[in-house]
Amino acid sequence: MNNKTKALLNEQIAREFEAGYMYLDLAAKCDIKGLKGVAHWYRLQAEEEKEHAMIIYNYLLDEGKDVVLSSLHMPVHDVTELKDIFKEALQHELYITETINNIYDNAYDDCDYRTMHFLDWFVNEQEEEERNARANLELLELAGSCGCGMLRLDETMGERK
């Protein structure tokens, strides 16, 4: 693994924690609106992001590389409407996909097959992350503006295990 890949993986640890931080923020925004199910969905997502960060953290250590933790930035903007919250989540996942692809490019250029193999999991995961974020937007579209629809959406998202 070259130094650039090592630095990018270290930065990605922060990106994943930031994603978790963002989802916690979105959870709070939904909770305060009474959307407890959506808040639950985002809380679980925040946990998942922490796991993603730890997968990279452990990979670096397993490879005998230094883990260098950096400051976290709050990635979320000032959103209050549920549609904007869902869009924000999708935009963020698209951004995370770009960052993963960028590390992959670097590993590819360096013929770092082990890191490419390691990153394959993240490439697949990002496909799922984007799909989930789009599915939430579709659910919102289906719910429409009536209270019953929103209640159903909240129940559905609250069932996430």
The C-alpha atoms of residue 52 and residue 122 are separated, in whole angstroms, by 8
Q: Supply the minimum distance, in Å, between the C-beta of residue 96 and ligand OFO.
A: 4
User: Is 88 or 125 the residue whose CB approaches ligand OFO more closely?
Assistant: 125
In this chain, which of 13, 37, 40, 93 binds ligand OFO, going by CB under 6 A? Answer: 93
Distances (CA, A) of 90 to 59, 77, 85, 119: 27, 13, 9, 21
Could you say which of 19, 82, 85, 150 contacts ligand OFO (CB under 6 A)? 19
C-beta atoms surrounding 150 within 10 Å: 19
Amino acid identity, position 156 = T
Percentages of the chain per state (helix, strand, coil), in multiples of 5:
80, 0, 20
User: Under rule CB under 6 A, which residues in 122-151 are in contact with ligand OFO?
Assistant: 125, 129
Task: Spell out, one character per residue from 28 to 57, where the chain touches ligand OFO: x when CB under 6 A holds, - when not.
Answer: ---------------------x--x-----
Instruction: Name the site residues for ligand OFO (rule: CB under 6 A).
Output: 16, 19, 49, 52, 93, 96, 125, 129
